[in-house]
């Protein structure tokens, strides 16, 4: 019996989740190709009514790889993929990997200046995007190292009946691209590979760079995170090991975007490298998500807390049968105890036999590296580390490990830890530190503690911590209290400038439908706060909003609210 199992004997009831896994050498493409050899006729993914088998997918990836070689992509070249979840993005992702390149994953809805930054930061030589985003890329192209722009169209991946409907609706909105535009259109691009028959495959190892994702890290400044083949392949093995109910052919609703570690690592690569089936969702709405869960009888769904909060309000889910679900995962942001209770009730009412399981991770470790076990949840906990992943709690910015129950900074180590922040050696050195135990640890900047059984509790982002009159206030804790109020739909807590306290607590609230945004309601909420929140942490102000701003991946954009308040304070000071 291992030390971990000896400490937590109930682990043996999880279906023999191992402490250690064996990881295959090679690339992400190699991992998917092995599955395609085993299950060639099994469906790899579905896209808007059309299914693609593993054999067909590998054939298209190889065609795409030959075309990349023909236009001059060589080992370690960076190729930017700015696309929604669609077949062409999937082919391109693995094709770049097959020719030894590095995929630079960015959001297609990024602003022009953001795009320019991403292209220069990664030194991308080729961009692959959709026709509707072409004009943004063309506007900044001359300021970047980009040589080729490859344009795909959603309609080319659709079945004939769906294509007709698409062209009458969404397709009509796309701005026309000049016939002589300096681009390579997808079908023309795929034909280029006909003249390339050999030497397009580049052998890559587990520790070779493969993907760049972007994150603010612990400083809030956007940085490119360089991840390896081994990082992604290890994640796939770990996710399946932590979910012993998974079987090849199980369906995952892949609505989380490809530019995000959660979407790319868990919803797509984990599924395709382990024999699963992805339901690709190009544009997320809560309504479409709800419809696809029931249409495809999905076995696994994953999302951020705001997604699950939105599903609770969708009338289309009334009477839906969710008995097909084997796993429901929440990550990317803190899941309040209240929302978990509400969604667990929702699952029970819709015949599901599972509850929502919270996970935790950072983009510096691809995504999740900690998950609530399938049969045992502890209120407020984000679960246990994946196999071969280690978590310890230290005094912030030190290597002094703290005893169980004491709050400190969360550190992560394991096979999914990034290689570096590109072009930021000092930031890399601050974030990745080698300790006396021989492991390289990621300093997350997040706060939490570990209990005596090894369960981790996330208490908030260190960078979100509000220091008011010398007291530390953690927004996530206050949001959890506020969200439990019967009239509050969602809340966001931030720190705002204050001449006396330095920082004061301000709350933004979305009220439930039919609750009036009146002074009487505000007073009721303040009375509730005075009852449930320590005096030093009481909000100075409660502001009602019809909607709270969201980030590109659906989290509440607290930074945007902070920026608004800082701007107001500066204007008043002038």
463 to 145, 363, 533: CA distances (angstroms): 34, 16, 21
| Positive or negative: CA dihedral 53, 58, 59, 64 | positive
pLDDT at 170: 58
Asked if 284 contacts 255 with a C-beta cutoff of 8 angstroms, the reply is yes
Distance from the Cα of residue 340 to its chain's centroid? 19
The residue count for the chain: 574
Reference 272, options 32, 88, 26; nearest CA is 32
Asked if 224 contacts 419 with a C-beta cutoff of 8 angstroms, the reply is no
Report the C-alpha gap between 214 and 535 in whole angstroms.
38
Reference 415, options 271, 265, 268; nearest CA is 265
Report the C-alpha gap between 226 and 102 in whole angstroms.
9
Report the C-alpha gap between 93 and 141 in whole angstroms.
22
pLDDT at 6: 41
Report the C-alpha gap between 361 and 537 in whole angstroms.
28
pLDDT at 150: 97
pLDDT at 4: 41
Reference 201, options 278, 297, 289, 101; nearest CA is 101
Residue 109 Rama label (left phi>0; alpha psi -120 to 50; beta): alpha
Q: Report helix, strand or coil for 291.
A: helix
Which tokens belong to 384? 């246990």
Residue 438 Rama label (left phi>0; alpha psi -120 to 50; beta): left
Q: What angle do CA 249, 252, 257 make, to 5 degrees?
A: 140
Q: Which residues contact 572 (CB under 8 A, 6 or more apart)?
A: none
519-555 burial by CB neighbour count: b if 16+ within 10 A, else e? eebeeebeebbeeebeeebbbeebebeeebeebebbb
Which overall architecture, per CATH, does domain 471-573 show?
A: 2-Layer Sandwich (3.30)
pLDDT at 318: 82
pLDDT at 553: 77
From first to last of its 574 residues, the chain has per-residue pLDDT tens of: 344 444 444 344 444 578 899 998 999 999 999 999 999 999 999 998 899 999 999 999 999 999 999 999 999 999 999 999 999 999 999 999 999 999 999 988 888 888 999 999 999 999 999 999 999 999 999 999 999 999 999 888 765 656 545 444 555 567 788 888 999 999 999 999 998 878 899 999 999 999 999 986 555 578 999 999 999 999 999 999 999 999 999 999 999 889 999 999 999 999 999 999 999 999 878 888 888 999 999 999 998 888 888 888 888 788 889 999 999 999 877 788 889 999 999 999 999 999 999 999 999 999 999 999 998 889 989 999 999 999 999 999 899 999 999 999 999 999 999 999 999 999 999 999 999 999 999 999 999 999 999 999 998 776 677 878 767 788 888 998 999 999 999 999 999 988 767 789 999 999 999 999 999 999 999 999 998 888 888 999 999 999 999 887 778 899 899 999 988 888 887 7
247 to 19, 180, 251: CA distances (angstroms): 20, 49, 9
- CATH 3.30.300.30 region(s) of the chain? 471-573
H/E stretch holding 10: none
Pick the CATH number of 22-421 from 3.30.390.30, 3.40.640.10, 3.40.50.12780, 3.30.70.141: 3.40.50.12780
pLDDT at 171: 52
Report the C-alpha gap between 460 and 446 in whole angstroms.
6
pLDDT at 175: 78
Q: Which residues contact 424 (CB under 8 A, 6 or more apart)?
A: 223
Report the C-alpha gap between 211 and 29 in whole angstroms.
12
Task: Kindly report the three-state secondary structure assignment for every residue of 496-533.
Answer: EEECCCEEEEEEEEEECCCCCCCHHHHHHHHHHHHHHC
pLDDT at 540: 94
- CATH 3.40.50.12780 region(s) of the chain? 22-421
| Positive or negative: CA dihedral 466, 468, 472, 474 | negative
């Amino acid at each position: 019996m291992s030390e971990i199992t000896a400490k937590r004997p109930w682990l043996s009831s999880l279906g023999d989740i191992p402490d250690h896994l064996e990881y295959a050498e090679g690339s992400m493409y190699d991992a998917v190709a092995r599955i395609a050899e085993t299950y060639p006729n099994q469906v790899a993914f579905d896209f808007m009514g059309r299914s693609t088998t593993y054999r067909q997918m590998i054939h298209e990836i190889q065609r795409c790889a030959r075309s990349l070689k023909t236009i001059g992509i060589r080992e370690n070249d960076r190729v930017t993929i700015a696309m929604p979840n669609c077949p062409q993005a999937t082919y391109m992702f693995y094709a770049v990997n097959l020719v030894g390149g590095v995929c630079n994953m960015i959001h297609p809805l990024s602003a022009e200046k953001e795009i320019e930054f991403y292209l220069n930061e990664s030194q991308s030589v080729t961009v692959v995007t959709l026709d509707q985003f072409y004009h943004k890329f063309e506007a900044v192209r001359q300021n970047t190292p980009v040589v080729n722009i490859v344009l795909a169209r959603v309609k080319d991946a659709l079945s004939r009946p769906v294509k007709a409907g698409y062209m009458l609706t969404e397709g009509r909105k796309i701005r026309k691209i000049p016939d002589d535009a300096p681009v390579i259109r997808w079908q023309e691009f795929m034909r280029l590979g006909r003249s390339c028959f050999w030497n397009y495959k580049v052998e890559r190892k587990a520790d070779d760079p493969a993907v760049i994702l972007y994150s603010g890290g612990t400083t809030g400044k956007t940085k490119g995170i360089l991840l390896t083949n081994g990082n992604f392949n290890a994640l796939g093995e770990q996710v399946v090991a932590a979910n012993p109910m998974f079987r090849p052919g199980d369906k995952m609703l892949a609505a989380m975007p490809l530019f995000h570690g959660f979407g790319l690592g868990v919803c797509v690569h984990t599924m395709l490298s382990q024999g699963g089936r992805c339901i690709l969702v190009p544009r997320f709405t809560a309504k479409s998500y709800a419809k696809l869960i029931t249409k495809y009888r999905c076995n696994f769904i994953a999302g951020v807390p705001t997604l699950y909060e939105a599903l609770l309000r969708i009338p289309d889910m009334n009477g839906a049968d969710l008995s097909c679900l084997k796993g429901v995962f929440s990550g990317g942001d803190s899941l309040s105890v209240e929302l978990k209770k509400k969604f667990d009730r929702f699952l029970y009412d819709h015949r599901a036999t599972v509850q929502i399981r919270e996970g935790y991770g950072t983009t510096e470790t691809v995504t999740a590296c900690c998950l609530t076990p399938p049969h045992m949840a502890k209120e407020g906990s984000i679960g246990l580390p994946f196999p071969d992943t280690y978590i310890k709690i230290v005094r912030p910015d030190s290597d002094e490990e703290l005893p169980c129950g004491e709050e400190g900074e969360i550190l992560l180590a394991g096979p999914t830890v990034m290689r570096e922040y590109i072009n930021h050696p000092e930031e890399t050195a601050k974030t990745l530190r080698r300790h006396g135990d021989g492991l390289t640890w990621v300093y997350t900047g997040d706060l939490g503690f570990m209990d005596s059984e090894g369960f981790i509790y996330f208490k908030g982002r260190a960078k979100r911590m509000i220091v008011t009159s010398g007291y530390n206030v953690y927004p996530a804790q206050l949001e959890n209290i506020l969200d439990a109020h019967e009239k509050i739909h969602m809340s966001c807590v931030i720190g705002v400038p204050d001449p006396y306290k330095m920082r004061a607590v301000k709350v933004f609230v979305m009220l439930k439908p039919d609750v009036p945004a009146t002074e009487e309601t505000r007073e009721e909420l303040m009375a509730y706060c005075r009852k449930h929140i320590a005096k030093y942490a009481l909000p100075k102000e409660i502001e009602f909003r019809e909607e709270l701003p969201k980030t590109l991946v659906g989290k509440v954009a607290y930074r945007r609210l902070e920026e608004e308040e800082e701007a107001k304070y500066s204007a008043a000071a002038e």
